[in-house]
Structure 1
Amino acid sequence: MAVTVLTTGGTIASRPSPRGDVQVAVPGSTLVVSAPAVQVREVMLAHSFNLTRADVLRLARRILTELDDPGVDGVVVTHGTDTMEETAYLLDLVLPPGRTVVFTGAQRHAAAPDADGPRNIADAVRVAAASATRGMGALITMAGQVHAARYATKAHTLDLAAFASPGRGPVALVRDDRVETIGRPARPDGFRLTELGALDARVDIVPVYLDADGVQIAACRAAGARGLVLQALGTGNPTPGVLREVEACLDEDIPVLVTSRCAEGPAVPVYGAGGGADLAKAGAVFAGSLGAPKARLLLMAALAAEADTGRALARLRPHLPAASGIRS
């Protein structure tokens, strides 16, 4: 099986600088030298916390170009872990059915004596080449675990098993040279990359906390936000000040997706008396178990693809997972 590895930088391609901090410095040809039978192409050399939407769209175009080559069976992307889940999710939204792209990175820099990058790359190549993972879409592979991009989140700042899929778990495991699948992620019809343009619809994420007055929402609206993602309390509850500002957004045809700040469980409109049920009554859309960063990208994609707010919401609704999204 022919696999292409696209490198973008991140900790996996970093070394300590003379000042003592860690900076990207390892070119792709050096990074992937230990992985046999792959083609390596360097796309960029950057920390993922510095990436822009333009960078991610450029990477997505490059991935789809590689997959158009009939000689390429799968693609691996090395990427910094900070925003890997967002890049992988956006790619999953535009990846055609039947294809697999595997993202991987590292928690320890390339000069560390116990660097985890080489194993993660080797595992990712195995996953990309495995017939069992064909058509799973975008995946994230680290520390022997394979997570669907739709559900994966960075759950630990330093642990080698940095990613988790809260409430679901991995879709596969890599043991020695074998890829063992556990389930397959649901993949609703997505978007064509050409529909997204520059992905320039402004969508902001606003957290909710004790006695939040909604001033951030007012500022987002004043800054020209075309959509809003609310990282709400519990099952999706606002404070009184936040509810007022969300209602103001909806009155101005600014769609609002409601997520939960909890690590597990869906956002659902349960409580009245100023709770999530009142958000739903006002017209906010509950995002189920989709996390806020992914909800933001989904809403951005829908607003880019559809000028009408109602049609945009119709496009994104199939992507809002409930309590369960993996079929055995």
Structure 2
Amino acid sequence: MTRLLLLATGDTMAFHPRPGRGAFASGAELLAALPAGSVPAEVTVEDLLAVPSWDLDPETMLRLARRARTAVLDDGYDGVVITHGTDTLEETAYLTDLLAGAAVERAGIVYTGAMRPPTELSADGPRNLRSALVAAGDPALRGVGVVACLNDELHAARWVTKIDATGVAAFSSAPYPVLGRVVDAGVEMLAPPPPRPPAPTGEPESAVALIKTYPGIDGVLLHAVVDAGARGVVLEGTGLANVPIGLLTAIDELTGWDIPVVVSSRARFREVSPEGSYGGGTLAARVGAIGARGLAPVKARAALMVALGDGGVRTARDWFGRLDGGV
């Protein structure tokens, strides 16, 4: 029989205040709430933590990623499901994808969550959990990479974004396609997955800052985060990864100090790179900024964490250079 591991982290799917019993249902309780026989697999449950995803720290995200990998490579599970709050699900899922290595060739690794707690009418948690378990055990997900399963849709971790803070159809991969969907007791694939990322080397660097740029931003902010301990900086630019000219001196100085600066964009495009644009992004590249290869800002931060595992600017530039642009 298929063996699955369910890693539970609390949050909305499990939020169920009960006098004397804590605010979050355990993973075993979530599993027991599903209809008998709805998951044709043997499921083992591990409760890793019970905190809201908006309060996760990088070390906890890395812990989840490592446990998912070892569950497959060391413990031999056929699939892993991680319940996770939806606020930062996309970041942790992509970090797991970057670190999964050979694990995604052997098993499905699926993140899921809920927009409504169990106490609300038409709670979406049970359906999402059941669909995620079905997907994780389906051989169709082997080699696909880490996915997010919500509302019966399967989204690539590299593409998925939360676009709605309240509705159950809260996640989208646009402008990229939904990878597949859960139908009955299996997975129907609808599109090819994104290319696999470069293999990680060394231990990821958790001290990476993400700064949203805006008209009039002062370069002193970049110096401030480095002074506070950041080993890398991601800038969320505009349009074609453009950043204000007032940041160029700071980017040049940080690069000279072996602090990589990666430039992404708040816009959604198939490919956004400062090396290929014609405005502030091009100027930033000329003073040392690294293009995010179309990654959304929060995904670029996860990627820089991994890219910094074995060096500084040169290593990060090489890693992003090997990241396939077909994102």
TM-score by length of 1: 0.88
SS in structure 2 of the partner of residue 253 of structure 1 = coil
Residue 114 of structure 1 is matched in structure 2 by 122
The letter for the 1-side match of 2:28 is S
Taking the TM superposition and a 5 Å limit, the aligned residue runs for 1:98-113 are 98=105, 99-113=107-121
**Residue 279 of structure 1, aligned match among 265, 284, 288:** 284
In structure 2, the partner of 1:62 is 67
The more displaced of 9-18 and 122-131 is 9-18
Match of 2:3 in 1: 2
**2 CA distance for matches of 1:79 and 1:278?**
39
Which residue of 2 is the match for residue 313 of structure 1?
317
1:189-204 → structure 2 map (5 Å cutoff): 189-191=198-200, 195-196=202-203, 199-204=204-209
CA contact (8 A) 1:229 1:296 kept: yes
Which aligned pairs between 1:4-19 and structure 2 lie closer than 5 A? 4-15=5-16
Instruction: Report if the CA contact (8 A) 1:258-1:267 is conserved.
Output: no
1:73 is aligned to 2:49: no
> What are the residue-to-residue correspondences of 1:111-150 with 2, within 5 Å?
111-150=119-158
**Structure 1 position 181, deviation (Å):** 0.5
Equivalent pairs counted in the alignment come to 313
Distance 1:250 1:282 in 2: 8
- Structure 2 CA distance for aligned equivalents of residues 164 and 143 of structure 1: 11
Indicate the SS of the match to 2:7: strand
Matched to 2:199, the amino acid is: G
Pair 1:275–1:71, CA change in 2 (3 A): closer
Q: Is the 8 A contact 1:11 1:105 kept in 2?
A: yes
The answer for the alignment partner of 1:166 in structure 2 is 174
1:31 and 2:30 correspond:
yes
Percentage identity across paired residues of the two chains: 37
Question: How far does residue 173 in structure 1 lie from its aligned partner after superposition?
Answer: 1.3
Unaligned runs of 5+ residues in structure 1 are none
User: Tell me, what secondary structure is at the counterpart of 1:44?
Assistant: coil
Q: How far apart, in 1, do the equivalents of 2:75 and 2:282 lie? A: 50
Could you tell me which residue of structure 1 aligns to residue 216 of structure 2?
A: 211
CA distance in 2, matches of 1:203, 1:70: 31
1:124 partner amino acid: A
Off by >4 Å, runs of 4+ in structure 1: none
Determine if contact 1:236/1:268 at 8 Å carries over to the other structure: yes
Distance 1:70 1:44 in 2: 20
Does the C-alpha gap of structure 1 residues 78 and 284 become closer, same or farther in structure 2, counting only changes over 3 Å?
A: same
Give TM-score, length-normalised by structure 2. 0.88
Distance in 1 (alpha carbons) for counterparts of 2:293 and 2:317: 14
CA distance in 1, matches of 2:183, 2:171: 17
Unpaired stretches in structure 2, ≥5 consecutive residues: none
Distance 1:218 1:282 in 2: 16
| Partner SS state of residue 110, structure 2 | strand
Contact residue 11 and residue 24 of structure 1 kept, 8 A? no
Measured after TM superposition, the shift of residue 308 of structure 1 is 4.5
Task: Give RMSD over aligned pairs.
Answer: 2.2
> 1:101 Cα shift?
0.4
Which AA in structure 1 matches 2:166?
A: L
